[in-house]
């Protein structure tokens, strides 16, 4: 289930869960005070370590999306080795 984090100027960050991609938008209404809340994009250099960790825990699937390229590169290297076991040793 996709979830998106927004930041209300009055209430702070909140995360909404959606059944589809309908939540993938720049702004939404704060569920608490009904003011406009801007989408929060997770750029690691903008956050402290504790914020990054708490965001990862809250958002669950997000860290996997951020590291997919790195995982793909590692898997590719592993696969090459596994396909040529006769070259190892």
d(CA 32, CA 71): 38
Subset of 22-41 contacting Zn ion (CB under 5 A): 30, 32-33
Q: Which of 3, 11, 42, 52 binds Zn ion (CB under 5 A)?
A: 11
Single out the segment in contact with Zn ion by CB under 5 A; choices: 3-11, 18-26, 59-67, 78-86.
Answer: 3-11
Residue 5 interacting with Zn ion (CB under 5 A): no
When the beta carbons of 12 and 60 are compared against Zn ion, the nearer one is: 12
Calpha distance 37→58 (Å, rounded): 18
In whole angstroms, how far apart are CA 19 and each of 22, 23, 34? 8, 9, 21
């Amino acid at each position: 289930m996709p979830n998106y984090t927004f930041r209300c100027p009055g209430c702070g960050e909140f995360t909404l869960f959606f059944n589809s991609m309908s939540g993938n938008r720049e702004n939404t209404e704060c569920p608490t005070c009904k003011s406009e809340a801007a989408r929060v994009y997770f750029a690691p250099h903008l956050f402290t370590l504790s914020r990054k960790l708490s965001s990862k825990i809250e958002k669950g699937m997000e860290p996997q999306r951020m590291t997919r390229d790195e995982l793909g590169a590692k898997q590719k290297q592993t696969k090459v080795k596994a396909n040529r076991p006769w070259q190892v040793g």
